[in-house]
A and B are shown apart, each in its own frame.
Chain A
Amino acid sequence: MALSKDLTAASAAPLVLSLLSRGDSYGYELIRAVRELSRDRIEWTEGMLYPVLHRMEEQELVESYWAVAESGRKRKYYRITKAGIAALRAQREEWVAVYAALSRAWRSANA
């Protein structure tokens, strides 16, 4: 089952930040990595991802640079900034809080 549109949009920024905190990356690679991490449940489209990346760059959560890969191809890489790391920490707390609340709610509903 694929993720709903709303949740895909809401989780895009924390996922991008999480992936970039493991190392610099580019659009194609990010889409592939998210597909793998989510076991095919989250399928980002390019039309969604690139505007999100560009907006995050405007907010200075990430920065970009062009580099030539080993294949000889020019690619636009993204790197997480200090502000991005701080934002990730804050978002992580939020997501954990939501997850914890939902878990407790469902546990008491089942009981």
Chain B
Amino acid sequence: MLDLETAILAWRARFRASNAFTAADIDELEAHLRDAIDAHVAAGRPLDEAFRLASERLGDTVALAPEFEAKNRATAWASRAAWSLAGALVASPLLRAVLGAPFASLRLGAAAGASDPGALGRAAWIGTWAAFAGALLVVAAIAWLLRRVEARRGSRALERGVFAVAIVFALLAWTGAFQPALEARFPASWSVDEMNAWYRGVSVLRRWEHFYAAPLAIAALGWALRARSRGPRPFWFAAGAVAMLAFEDLGALAYRVFLWARYGSASFAPDWELACRLSGFLVPVVGALGFLFALRRVGARSAWRRVECGRWLALAAAATSALGYALVHAPGPRATSGLGPQPAWAALVGEAIFASYVVALVALSTRAARAAKA
């Protein structure tokens, strides 16, 4: 026997997952659905058939969305922006933790009395992967909790939960930004040789764990959001998160490309790193906007939005990883130093290379969207 209330809760969740409907719209449609079910039951049909007929007749979200979306356009965009922001807010401190972990480990080790850069590097390697595993566990645990909340109390509770989590994470990111422990800085007494020994200790991954981490983090997010609530809301959440992850990477990559082309080494240039950080804020934001626009083009058709976007995001992340891997292992001396201070034009070149990624992404996704339409 069909449990009508559970069925209606699930039915509502599908509508909540779409940006096209306001809460009042769904309440009104639900009253309509219940009237239709009553009429079928009064005509002698069993309850489950009555529910099926009534919900089919009412139409699914895909059929109803365009009409409602036109009416609710402003609300829909505000909702998309809010979900993307929530995604970016959740991703940001996780990324910060993974990026800061090697240096936090370095400081911890030094405080414990260790002085061998190689050993400190190996400890940093462990610390980084522990931070990464911890971040994944946190995401998985929150996702599991939110899904339980959604199953019990409906998708509006899920929505509130996601935003509460995003606010907590935003506070964490804010605090993290002022943690000297997470700063990418070596002890002042270290020579370039010691820094290089430390990097060798951190080993093959050479601190670019996040190039490898991005696809895994995205897979975790995808697992968290795909299973139940299909639709544009998780799509925009994931888009925000991925934009944050991917463009932190792409922003960093732009300078690696430049270093490699100019000096024949994509490896670390200690005296450049801090100068790059100056535009470290602008680059991810501009990149995120470009990436979101690209996703919007690709995700314009609802079928794409639901299924393909997840694969597409994973592909984009994997491509970023591959590029990161190729660059880190590109031929050339493994450590660069003595380049002198970063000239102003180098930053511009870095930005230009970065901008070309965004343009290429937008162009490619526009083509893909056209192909999907045709």
In angstroms, how far is the closest chain A Cβ from the Cβ of B240?
29
- Chain A nearest CB from B202 CB (Å) reads 58
The prevalent SS among residues of B at the interface is helix
The minimal Cβ–Cβ distance linking B15 to chain A, given in whole angstroms, is 12
Query: Size of chain B's interface in residues, with CB distance under 8 A?
Result: 20
**A46 B70 Cβ-Cβ under 8 A:** no
User: A51, B68: Cβ atoms under 8 Å?
Assistant: yes
CA distance A23 to B35 in the complex (A): 19
* B68 lies within 8 A of A75 (CB): no
Q: Is the CB of A28 within 8 A of B67?
A: no
Closest to B65 in A: A47
Residues on the B chain within 8 Å of A55, using CB: 71
Please report which residues of chain A, range 62-101, place their CB below 8 angstroms from some CB of chain B when the two chains form the complex. 71, 73-76
The distance from the CB of B60 to the nearest CB of chain A, in whole angstroms, is 10
| Contact across chains for B32 and A27 when beta carbons are under 8 A apart | yes
B27 sits at the interface (CB 8 A):
yes
Complex interface: chain B residues within 8 A of A75 (CB)? 31, 35
Distance in angstroms between the alpha carbons of A36 and B337 in the assembled complex: 85
Contact A28-B71, Cβ < 8 Å, known A47-B59, A50-B29, A76-B31? no
Q: Counting CB contacts under 8 A, is B230 at the interface?
A: no
Q: From the candidates A26, A51, A73, name the one contacting B70 in the complex (CB within 8 A).
A: A51
The one of B38, B58, B71 in contact with A54, judged by C-beta atoms closer than 8 angstroms, is B71
Q: Which residue of B27, B31, B59 contacts A28 across the interface (Cβ within 8 Å)?
A: B31
Q: How many residues of A contact B (CB 8 A)?
A: 17
| B29 A46 Cβ-Cβ under 8 A | yes
**B34:A73 contact, CB within 8 angstroms:** yes
For A48, the chain B residues whose CB sits under 8 A away are 67
Number of A-B contacts (CB under 8 A): 47
Assembled-state Cα–Cα distance A102/B70 (Å): 34
- For chain B, residues 25 to 42, give those with C-beta under 8 angstroms from any C-beta of chain A: 25, 27-29, 31-32, 34-36, 38
> C-beta contact mask, B1-30 vs A, less than 8 Å → 1, else 0?
000000000000000000000001101110
B63 CB–A CB distance under 8 Å: yes
CB within 8 Å of B: which A35-52 residues:
45-48, 50-51
For B71, the chain A residues whose CB sits under 8 A away are 51, 54-55
In the assembly, what is the distance between CA of A51 and CA of B20, in Å? 11
Docked Cα-Cα span, A51 to B28, in Å, equals 12
Q: Which of the residues A46, A51, A54, A71 comes within 8 Å of B32, measured between beta carbons? A: A46
Complex CA–CA separation, A75 to B142 (angstroms):
36
Q: Is B64 an interface residue (CB 8 A)?
A: yes
Q: For the complex, give the distance between the alpha carbons of A71 and B31 in Å.
A: 12
* Contact call B67/A47, Cβ cutoff below 8 A: yes
Q: CA of A27 to CA of B63 in the docked complex: distance in angstroms?
A: 18
The residue from A29, A45, A47, A50 contacting B28, defined by CB atoms under 8 A apart: A50
Question: Are A74 and B25 in touch, CB under 8 angstroms?
Answer: no
B64 touches A26 (CB 8 A): no
Q: What is the CA–CA distance of A15 and B358 in the complex, to the nearest angstrom?
A: 51
Contact among A28, A54, A76 with B36 in the assembled complex (CB-CB below 8 Å): A28
CB distance from A74 to the nearest CB of B (A): 6
Question: Are A51 and B31 interface neighbours, CB within 8 A?
Answer: no
Q: What is the CB-to-nearest-CB distance from A27 to chain B, in angstroms, rounded to a whole number?
A: 5
Interfacial residues, chain B to chain A (CB-CB below 8 A): 24-25, 27-29, 31-32, 34-36, 38, 58-59, 63-64, 66-68, 70-71
